[in-house]
Structure 1
Amino acid sequence: MKSLKKHWTISRTLLFVIIGLKNTVFIRPEDIGTWKNYVGYGVLLVAIVDIFFLVKQYLKRNNNEK
């Protein structure tokens, strides 16, 4: 069950990054400044927070193994 949870967290983070990039960097010029663009920034912010906690959990696990 832990393996499934681990894979889901990585998949969720990748999904946040892909959706965020799609709505910010790869957005059509006519959609800049619309709600899609602002949602993209929000999703990228969530992805950054999620990556921070994943790295923190990984470092904590590696310090306990030593």
Structure 2
Amino acid sequence: MVPGRRAEAQDLGVHLWTALHGQLVLWRTLPSSAAGNEAILIELEESLLRRLLPVPEVPSPAE
């Protein structure tokens, strides 16, 4: 592992675990008609991941 990246990897792991847990909770609490609709599940998953995962930093161009 690259030195200094361990904390970043742990943070990402926490975000992913939280996203998976949130997805499971949403799936378990949805009405059966929505839980069987793949389009709704995909939309919920993408929305959850956008909220939980950090936005990747874009390196600024060298001036």
More helix as a share of residues: 1
When Rg is computed on C-alpha atoms for both structures, the one with the higher figure is: 2
TM-score (norm 2): 0.49
* Structure with greater contact order relative to length (CA < 8 Å, sep ≥ 6): 2
